[in-house]
């Protein structure tokens, strides 16, 4: 299992409100988290970095000895995300400067070939292999819901004035119900977590092409970010690229 984490402020912003990290436990379980914060001044930055830091601490300090099957991890992940949400929500309420802050959060918990994804907001998780690229998460965005309801088309969604509206964010409401996905990481496949700074700029076909190229993992991640910047770079761009190809190889 190899991974690469890159985050870039982009070409137009002064502050990087994205945060991303991968945490590894001794038993080989890893947690990849990516967050895109929002809120005035530095509140967005604070929201995303705090979310990543807290969830990482919880993960590393966890006593997982009793976790005999996936169900335990599912519960842990749900509870932890809820905990982060409450924490940020309370801070936002108590602190005038942090009022209105929130963050998207993608947390991918990988144990061997099984992967749990907790999803809130409009950052994305993709699974990529030779057969194609698959978007695992559904954006919690205003336009995506209109799109799913057949009220607007893909083209209308791309140009919609409210395309920056998200329907769920960690820390903006008292309780949160993230989406939870369980996926099987097949051999020779990649998992990509990214913020919308990438997905709004680079189409899936191109992402797949880059991820499946012969370059090193780091070069691929770098190329994704460079491409988003070439397309304007109006937003922060963050990428976590995980290569599961080596899973079996290393373990065997």
Partner 1 sequence: MIGSRIGGRYDILRAIGDGGMSRVYLAHDAILNRDVAIKVLHYDFANEEELKRRFQREALSATSLTHPHIVDIFDVGEDGELHYLVMEYVEGQTLKQFIQSEGPLTPERALPIMQQLVSAISNAHHNGIVHRDIKPQNILMDAEGNVKITDFGIAMALSATAHTKTNSVIGTVHYLSPEQARGGMATKKSDIYSLGIVFYELLTGELPFSAETAVAIALKHLQEETPSVRAAFPSIPQSVENVILKATAKDASYRYRSADEMYDDLLTVLSPERVDEEKFSIPYDEDKTMAIPVIKDVPKFEEAESTKKIEPVVIEPPQAPKKKRKKWPIVAGIIGGIIALALLAILLISLLGPKQALVPDVSEMDEAEAISALEEEGFKVGERNEQTSDEIEAGKVIRTIPEAGKKREVGSSIMLYVSTGKEKFELLDYTGRSYETVKSTLNVYGFRSIEPDTQFSDEPEGTIIGQDPPGGTEVVPGETDLVFTVSKGKETRTLGNLVGYNENQLTDYAESTGFNISVVGHEHSDTVPAGQVISQVPDKGTAVEKGGRVQVIVSKGPEKKTVQLIVHRVTIPYEPDVSEPVDEEQDEEGNWQLPEPVPQQIKIYIQDRTRNLSDVYDEFTITESTSRQLKFELEEGQQGAFKITRDDEVIIEESVDYSDSN
Query: What is the smallest separation between the CB atom of 155 and partner 1, expressed in angstroms?
Result: 8
Question: Can you tell me the distance from the alpha carbon of 185 to that of 19, in angstroms, rounded to the nearest whole number?
Answer: 24
Closer residue to partner 1 (CB): 57 or 177: 177
Half-sphere CA count of 19, side-chain side, radius 13 A? 24
Query: What is the smallest separation between the CB atom of 75 and partner 1, expressed in angstroms?
Result: 5
Please list the residues that pair with 8 across neighbouring strands: 237
Query: What is the smallest separation between the CB atom of 128 and partner 1, expressed in angstroms?
Result: 14
Contacting residue, 81, 105, 110, 143, with partner 1 by CB under 8 A: 143
Closer residue to partner 1 (CB): 4 or 228: 228
SS (H, E, C) 187-216: CCCEEEEECHHHHCCCCHHHHHHHHCCCCC
Considering the rule CB under 8 A, would residue 203 count as an interface residue with partner 1? no
Considering the rule CB under 8 A, would residue 13 count as an interface residue with partner 1? yes
Closer residue to partner 1 (CB): 145 or 217: 145
Q: Which stretch binds partner 1 (CB under 8 A): 32-40, 207-215, 217-225, 237-245?
A: 32-40
Q: What is the dihedral of CA 26, 80, 41, 226, to 10 degrees?
A: 50
Q: Which stretch binds partner 1 (CB under 8 A): 24-32, 105-113, 144-152, 212-220?
A: 144-152
Closer residue to partner 1 (CB): 4 or 118: 118
Phi, psi dihedrals of residue 69, rounded to the nearest 5°: -140, 180
Count of beta carbons in the 10 Å neighbourhood of residue 222: 18
Half-sphere CA count of 163, side-chain side, radius 13 A? 14
Residue with tokens 């397309």: 231
Query: What is the smallest separation between the CB atom of 6 and partner 1, expressed in angstroms?
Result: 20
Q: What angle separates helix 70-94 from helix 43-61, to the nearest 10 degrees? A: 150
Q: Which residues contact partner 1 by CB under 8 A?
A: 12-14, 36, 38, 40, 44, 71, 74-75, 78, 100, 102, 104, 116-117, 122, 134-138, 142-143, 145-146, 148-153, 156-157, 159-167, 169, 172-173, 175, 177, 179-183, 196, 234-235
């Amino acid at each position: 299992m190899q991974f690469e984490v890159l985050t870039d402020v982009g070409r137009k912003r002064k502050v990087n409100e994205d945060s991303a990290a991968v945490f590894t436990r001794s038993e080989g379980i890893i947690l990849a988290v990516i967050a895109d914060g929002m809120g005035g001044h530095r509140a967005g930055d604070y929201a995303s970095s705090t979310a990543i830091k807290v969830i990482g601490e919880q993960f590393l300090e966890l006593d997982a000895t009793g976790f005999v099957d996936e169900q335990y991890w599912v519960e842990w992940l749900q509870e932890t995300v809820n905990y982060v949400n409450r924490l940020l929500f309370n801070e936002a309420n108590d602190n005038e400067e942090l009022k209105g802050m929130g963050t998207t959060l993608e947390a991918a918990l990988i144990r061997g070939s099984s992967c749990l994804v907790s999803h809130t907001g409009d950052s994305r998780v993709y699974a990529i292999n030779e057969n194609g690229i698959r978007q695992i998460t559904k954006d919690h965005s205003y336009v995506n819901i209109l799109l799913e309801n057949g009220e607007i088309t893909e083209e209308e969604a791309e140009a919609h004035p409210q395309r920056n509206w998200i329907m769920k964010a960690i820390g903006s409401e008292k309780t949160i119900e993230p989406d939870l996905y369980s996926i099987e990481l097949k051999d020779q496949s990649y998992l990509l977590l990214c913020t919308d700074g990438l997905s709004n700029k680079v189409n899936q076909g191109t992402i797949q092409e880059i991820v499946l190229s012969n370059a090193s993992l780091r070069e691929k991640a770098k190329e994704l970010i460079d491409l988003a910047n070439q397309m304007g770079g109006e937003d922060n761009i963050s990428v976590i690229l995980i290569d599961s190809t080596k899973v079996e190889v290393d373990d065997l």
